[in-house]
Amino acid sequence: MLLSTETIDTTVELVTSLAKETIPGTTGAGVTLVDDRGKRTVAASDGDVERADALQYELDSGPCLTSYRDQVNVRIDDVTEDDRWPEWTAAVAEVGVRAMLSVPLVAADLCIGAIKVYSSTPATFDDRAEHLLQLFAQQAATLLANAQTVADARRTNVQLTDALQTRDVIGQAKGILLAQGAVDDAAAFAMLVTASQQCNVKLSVVARQLVDAVTRRSLSHPDE
């Protein structure tokens, strides 16, 4: 994958598809990512996986969250006989899930979430399945961490670009006010702040409106 062009959504869809194909007996797979936007399933093979995960997020308890928080593998042979997360297991049994396996996604000592596989048949996952998913998760975690890093860098770049553009337009607006008689830079900025508060809009919007208005007037009356 070219991480410079692939999105996180594409990445986790690939991860989920491979997990489902890798682990025998799997009827559904998904990836939970946890970051500054909270807990969320960014890819799921079907609606049952989404519902099973949503129940964990609602209860803030369940095997995938435990796998992420404690950085441990979690296996449930039969949800009807497991009492570690009673509310979740009771609810998820109605969804059709009977067995599950979850492994944390750890890259560079940072846990970014968990990958999990579900089955509608009890006792589907054995030690070999757990070992396979763990090996796969190690590679998936690196891929996801790199994809997140690229996405974060792009987001930061957009934010910096916006900040620079905002700074420039505010500077242009202050220059216009100075040319129109504002005493100094501080006075011009104070005028923009006052207009922003009175109009209940962002300072950058007020500045842009002023710059655009002056630009339009200049274009309409080039000799003025």
pLDDT of residue 1: 45
Beta-carbon neighbour count of residue 210 at 10 Å? 21
Q: Evaluate if residue 108 carries a pLDDT over 90.
A: no
Name the band, by pLDDT with cuts 50, 70 and 90, for residue 7: low
Q: Which residues is 75 bridged to in the sheet? A: 101
Question: What is the CATH number that goes with domain 8-154?
Answer: 3.30.450.40
Q: Which of 18-22, 42-46, 66-70, 132-136 has the highest mean pLDDT?
A: 66-70
Amino acid letter, 137? A
Beta-carbon neighbour count of residue 193 at 10 Å? 12
pLDDT of residue 63: 97
Whose structure tokens read 């099973």? 52
What residue ranges of the chain are covered by domains with CATH 3.30.450.40? 8-154
What residue ranges of the chain are covered by domains with CATH 1.10.10? 157-220
Predicted TM-score (pTM) above 0.75: no
pLDDT of residue 221: 67
Q: Which residues is 221 bridged to in the sheet? A: none
Residues 105-142 as b or e (16 or more Cβ within 10 Å = b): bbbeeebbbbbbbbbeeeebbeeebbebbeebbeebbe
Q: How much is the average pLDDT of 184-212?
A: 88
pLDDT of residue 163: 73
Tokens of 10: 């594409």
Sequence length of the chain is: 224
Q: Evaluate if residue 5 carries a pLDDT over 60.
A: no
Q: How much is the average pLDDT of 170-194?
A: 90
Options 1.10.3470, 1.10.10, 2.60.60, 1.10.287; CATH for 157-220 is 1.10.10
Question: What digits encode the pLDDT tens for the residues 57-74?
Answer: 999 999 999 999 999 999
pLDDT of residue 224: 56
DSSP state of 98: -
The pairing of beta strand 74-76 with beta strand 38-44? unpaired
